[in-house]
Amino acid sequence: MNWLKILALGLWILALVQPGLVLGAQELMVSAAASLTNAFQEIGQRFEQQHPGTKVIFNFAASGYLLQQIAQGAPVDVFASADQKTMNQAQEKELIVAASRKNFVSNTLVLIVPQDSRLVLTGPKDLVLLQVKRVAVGNPATVPVGRYTQEALTQAGLWESLQPKLIMGESVRQVLDYISRAEVDAGLVYATDAAIAQGKVKTAAEVQGHQPIVYPVALVAASQKQALGQEFLNFLSAPESVAILSKYGFGLP
Amino acid sequence: MDYSLYSKPLLLTLRVAGLATIFVAMTGVPLAYLVSRRNFWGREWLDAFCTLPLVLPPTVLGYYLIVLWGRHGWLGHWLYQTWGISLMFTWQGAVLASALVSFPLVFKSARAAFEEVDRNLENVARTLGLAEGAVFWRVSLPLALRGIVAGTMLAFARAMGEFGATLMVAGNIPGKTQTLSLAIYAAVQAGNDTLALTLVVLTSGACILILVTSGKILTLSLK
């Protein structure tokens, strides 16, 4: 039974040592708004190619949720949010390096419907029609797209009257998913998300009536890798990153 | 003090869990009786299939439910085309999710309880002229009742705590499908710690009450 004891000892040592093994590579943890998923994954790959030995780990979710994680001590190095409000909250709580904060892209809000929908919507005001039973929007408490939606619909005087029809998503990608699967009749997402799901959704109209959608990015104050994080921030303004972002439909800040 | 922030999720949770438990009791107990009394081909496979929701992660169950009942799902699209009903984002969908996850608890306990019942007592009832249905209602069920009730209470507690599958099928709509566990999740995400803490204490209290009661019943049945 000696080999069994050696095996057990070996596994035990491995379990203890394992965290250390993982931290070996130079890793950069980037928490970014869900709408940046596809563009950032590509940018991350380019960054890794240009910085051999570096690994970029992405964490995509609603900006409000990401802020909660950082506030509770998540080991994040860079934070990119989909609205100024979340970044302002981060700055107030001194979670970011204020000097590193900059705007890097802009986006637009659109009203979309499932691909096989027979509804013809010309704008948000058509959401009050009886045929529209369910409308997917982001949760304004934590999701920036939900806040822009609330602004736009409030300005159009529709927010209160549409309440019974609203299905709140926990991130813009969840809202997009609901519409792609035709579980709802319509929804509001960013133009960049509508572009990703082409073939499953179609854009009905662009929606105005909200503050400009400008995404900020910043270094997290508690990060141990600020130099590397700053390089990533600089890389976001490089021509190839700008090209990738505009390929996915993002605009200049 | 906006009590509806607590009362709405609580009442909704009780309603969803209550209906789910009634549904699984109505289906689980007869099925368990059948499985415990008749030896048919594939019996253990059926038992395993009925126990599966206990083992599978709730998100897997949620996904299966979407595939079945989503608007483009196998059964869902027929339901939508025939009656214009969609179970997604409704409290009925939440009942379905909760029923699915708590079914094994009733099924397993009921089967074990029925197997504990002395067959001789049933046979005596038959020799005295009782029809099969009456044997079930007047002999088997009363003798197995304590075990079944304990299992049902556990199922109720499980249905109350259901999160993953409910979130995927019913969404997190305040007032309509936001059960206690979903309300806590939303409160934590929004950074509303007071609300989260109150809801957590409320839920914990309710679950402890259920478990203590079901434990007492179980000890009574073992005497």
pLDDT at A21 over 80: no
Query: Is residue A252 in some structural domain?
Result: no
**Same domain assignment for residues A153 and A191:** yes
Provide the pLDDT for residue A24.
47
For range B184-194, the mean pLDDT? 85
Query: Is residue A145 in some structural domain?
Result: yes
Name the minimum distance, in Å, from the CA of A164 to any CA of chain B.
10
Query: Is residue A253 in some structural domain?
Result: no
**Same domain assignment for residues A98 and A12:** yes
pLDDT at A22 over 60: no
Residue type at position A53: G
Which residues in chain A have their CB less than 8 angstroms from residue B186's CB?
139, 141
Over residues A147-180, the pLDDT tens digits come to: 999 999 999 999 999 999 999 999 999 999 999 9
Over residues A182-206, the pLDDT tens digits come to: 999 999 999 999 999 989 999 999 9
Over residues B56-69, the pLDDT tens digits come to: 999 999 999 999 99
Query: Is residue A94 in some structural domain?
Result: yes
- Hey, are the CB atoms on B171 and A141 less than 8 Å from each other? no
**Same domain assignment for residues A78 and A201:** no
Provide the pLDDT for residue A18.
67
d(CA B160, CA B18): 8
**Same domain assignment for residues A166 and A231:** no
> Quick check: A35 and A177 in contact, CB under 8 A?
no
Query: Is residue A80 in some structural domain?
Result: yes
**Same domain assignment for residues A101 and A111:** no
pLDDT at B89 over 60: yes
Which residues form the domain of A128?
107-207
Buried b (16+ CB within 10 A) or exposed e, A196-221: bbeebbeebbebeebeebbbbbbbbb
pLDDT at A72 over 50: yes
B146 pLDDT tier (thresholds 50, 70, 90): confident
Q: What's the CATH code of the domain at A118?
A: 3.40.190.10
Which residues in chain A have their CB less than 8 angstroms from residue B90's CB?
none
Which residues in chain A have their CB less than 8 angstroms from residue B88's CB?
183
Q: Which of B163, B189, B195 to mutate to test the interface with A (most CBs of A within 10 A)?
A: B189
Query: Is residue A164 in some structural domain?
Result: yes
Bin B191: left if φ > 0, else alpha if -120 < ψ < 50, else beta: left
The Cβ of residue B160 has, within 10 Å, a number of other Cβ atoms equal to 24
Provide φ and ψ at B181, rounded to 5°. -65, -35
> Helix/strand/coil (H, E, C) string of chain A?
CHHHHHHHHHHHHHHHHHHHHHCCCEEEEEEEEHHHHHHHHHHHHHHHHHCCCEEEEEEEECHHHHHHHHHCCCCCCEEECCCHHHHHHHHHCCCECHHHCEEEEEECEEEEEECCCCCCCCCHHHHHCCCCCCEEEECCCCCHHHHHHHHHHHHCCCHHHHHHHEEEECCHHHHHHHHHCCCCCEEEEEHHHHHHCECCEEEEEEECCCCCEEEEEEEECCCCCHHHHHHHHHHHCCHHHHHHHHHCCCECC
**Same domain assignment for residues A89 and A154:** no
**Same domain assignment for residues A147 and A84:** no
The alpha carbon dihedral of A238, A108, A178, A171 has a sign of positive
How many structural domains compose chain A?
2
**Same domain assignment for residues A62 and A134:** no
Range in A16-20, A53-57, A59-63, A148-152 with the lowest mean pLDDT: A16-20
**Same domain assignment for residues A175 and A230:** no
pLDDT at A23 over 60: no
The alpha carbon dihedral of B55, B59, B64, B68 has a sign of positive
Provide the pLDDT for residue A162.
93
- Hey, are the CB atoms on B89 and A65 less than 8 Å from each other? no
Please name the member of A142, A170, A183 whose beta carbon is closest to the beta carbon of B70: A183
**Same domain assignment for residues A140 and A100:** no
Over residues A79-137, the pLDDT tens digits come to: 999 999 999 999 999 999 999 999 999 999 999 999 999 888 999 999 999 989 999 99
Residue B76 DSSP class:
H
Mean of the per-residue pLDDT values for chain A? 91
**Same domain assignment for residues A118 and A202:** yes
Query: Is residue A40 in some structural domain?
Result: yes
pLDDT at A1 over 80: no
Query: Is residue A187 in some structural domain?
Result: yes
Name the minimum distance, in Å, from the CA of A239 to any CA of chain B.
36
> Quick check: B169 and B94 in contact, CB under 8 A?
yes
B72 pLDDT tier (thresholds 50, 70, 90): confident
Full set of structural domains in chain B with CATH: 4-222 (1.10.3720.10)
**Same domain assignment for residues A88 and A24:** yes
pLDDT at B220 over 90: no
